């Protein structure tokens, strides 16, 4: 087998990269989360009013830091994940979180683009954006 084929066989699939990213997000591991994103990463994140806010890598990591994920007992169930074309992965996520007597149960669709084993872009659409915003505030 050629060196190129061996290297490709060792690289994680785009699907595996995205699933690993979701688990990293779920743990709130900011160091690994940042390392999972390309330098020119763009995140398109649902706002409370159903709009979209664009963030770069640092802005994305900072928004996760502000969520204080480790205190929220976050659980992300992933009932479906599909690589819709090479490097583009669509994920359905069921979100469960609990903190301070409050709970969140929501659904999110996430479309991620993977380049060289890292996320270069993610589109996140939240089913109940105002409820998520209220919980994570």
CATH number of 13-136: 3.10.450.50
User: What's the pLDDT score for residue 10?
Assistant: 53
User: Global pTM?
Assistant: 0.87
Q: In whole angstroms, what is the distance from residue 60 CA to residue 40 CA? A: 12
* 3-class SS letters over the chain: CCHHHHHHHHCCCHHHHHHHHHHHHHHCCHHHHHHCEEEEEEEEEECCCCCEEEEEHHHHHHHHHHHCHHHHCCEEEEEEEEEEECCEEEEEEEEEEEECCEEEEEEEEEEEEEECCEEEEEEEEECCHHHHHHHHC
Q: What are the structural domain ranges in the chain?
A: 13-136
What pLDDT tens digit does each residue of the chain (137 aa) get? 334 433 444 578 999 999 999 999 999 999 999 999 999 999 999 999 989 999 999 999 999 999 999 999 999 999 999 999 999 999 999 999 999 999 999 999 999 999 999 999 999 999 999 999 999 98
Mean pLDDT of the chain: 92
- Could you give the percent of the chain with pLDDT greater than 70? 92
Residue 4 confidence (pLDDT): 41
């Amino acid at each position: 087998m050629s060196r190129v084929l061996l290297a490709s066989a060792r690289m994680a699939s785009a699907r595996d990269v995205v699933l690993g990213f979701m688990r990293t997000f779920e743990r709130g591991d900011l160091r690994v989360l940042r390392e999972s994103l390309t330098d020119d990463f763009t995140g398109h994140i649902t706002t409370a009013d159903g709009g979209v806010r664009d963030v770069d890598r640092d802005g994305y990591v900072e928004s996760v830091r502000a969520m204080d994920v480790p205190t929220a007992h976050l659980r992300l169930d992933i009932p479906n994940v599909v690589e819709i074309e090479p490097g583009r992965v669509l994920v359905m996520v069921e979100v469960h979180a609990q903190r301070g007597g409050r709970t969140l149960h929501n659904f999110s669709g996430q479309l991620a683009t993977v380049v060289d084993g890292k996320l270069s872009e993610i589109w996140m659409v939240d089913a109940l954006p105002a409820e998520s915003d209220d919980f994570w505030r």
